[in-house]
Structure 1
Amino acid sequence: MRTSAVALVVATLVATPALAGPGAGRGSGGWGMGGSYQRMFNPATVETVSGQVVSVERMRPMKGMNQGVHLKLKTDQETIPVQVGPAWYLERLDTKIEKGDSIEVKGSRVSFQGKPAIIASEIKKGDALLKLRDDSGFPVWAGWRR
């Protein structure tokens, strides 16, 4: 009797993630609050920069994460990488950021792979505002878990 109860528990634990679908249990493909990437966001280093988008690329910020959108923004002072968010989320939005766009980015300045970067919390393009994270860095795409 005891052996069958243990077997049932093990079977349930193994089957649950598989039934939940791809990326389940990993916080939005690695983009959820539990991941080491999201913990890099520091409210104390939030700043706002403006400039022109030099490039828009898809990338995986860290091993095990789903693809994200990454910009290079040329400001008056520098060209800085901007981590925007998961591609699966951004593809569903009406406002698209493209090479050549003039934008304003609010986000946390971090050191990413030994170089400066910004993890965006908001991006303004003309009259459009893309809200990506709240003031503490909590991503809007993970809001349904609150």
Structure 2
Amino acid sequence: MKKFTFLTAMIFVISLSLVSESFAQTGMMWRGSGGWGTGTPYGRIYNPATVETIAGEVTGIDKITPFRGMNYGVHMTVKTDKEVISIHLGPGWFIENQDVNINNGDKVEVKGSRVTFNGKPAIIAAEIKKGKDVLKLRDENGFPVWSGWRR
């Protein structure tokens, strides 16, 4: 009888621990930067030596997944006097929760690193100015503001 009671108690304890672990996993799950951090292949593309500022009109805003396995990000197309260029803003979860809204037709000033991405010129944005509003995305070294707590 003692063995049966002990065995029943052990099964109960094991079952309880498995159930509580299962409930714990349905809560908040840490996913990391989704490929948008400074140490990732995409994060290493930003080059402070190629930073420039352009001004133009937003002609498109889309989702982008720069590299396979990354979470999606937000990118916009800006038409300047000289060119139409792709501007990479950052991860969707960060950009979509900012107070500065950028829409088609907006006049913007973009500061960022000019790079070649998929064989075409692009800018990885550090800062977007729209009128009096400023959307800060990276510091002067290219460190993303969404990774700020990791410093």
TM-score range for the pair, normalised by the shorter chain length? 0.7 to 0.9
RMSD of aligned Cα (Å): 1.6
| 1:21 has 2:26 as partner | no
> Which residue of structure 1 aligns with residue 123 of structure 2?
118
Alignment of 1:105-144 (within 5 A): 105-144=110-149
Any unmatched runs of 5+ in structure 2?
Answer: 1-24
| 1:67 has 2:75 as partner | no
Per-residue deviation, 1:145? 0.7
Per-residue deviation, 1:21? 2.0
Alignment counterpart, residue 96 of structure 2, candidates 91, 106, 112: 91
Q: Which amino acid in 2 is paired with 1:53? A: V
Query: Deviation per CA, 1:70-104, whole angstroms, max 9, x where unpaired?
Result: 10000000000000011100111111111111000
Counterpart Cα distance in 1 of 2:81 and 2:68:
32
Counterpart Cα distance in 2 of 1:29 and 1:140:
15
> Which residue of structure 1 aligns with residue 150 of structure 2?
145
Query: Deviation per CA, 1:39-85, whole angstroms, max 9, x where unpaired?
Result: 00001100000000000001111111111001000000000000001
Q: Which amino acid in 1 is paired with 2:66? A: P
Please identify the structure whose Cα radius of gyration is greater.
2
Q: Which amino acid in 2 is paired with 1:23? A: R
Extract structure 1 runs of 4+ deviating beyond 6 A. Answer: none
Look up the SS of the partner of 2:146 in the other structure: helix
Per-residue deviation, 1:119? 0.2
* TM-score, with length taken from structure 1: 0.83
Counterpart Cα distance in 2 of 1:109 and 1:59:
17
Q: Which amino acid in 1 is paired with 2:137? A: L
Counterpart Cα distance in 1 of 2:68 and 2:101:
26
Alignment counterpart, residue 38 of structure 1, candidates 22, 25, 43: 43
Q: Which amino acid in 1 is paired with 2:70? A: M
Per-residue deviation, 1:22? 4.8
Look up the SS of the partner of 1:107 in the other structure: strand
Aligned length: 127
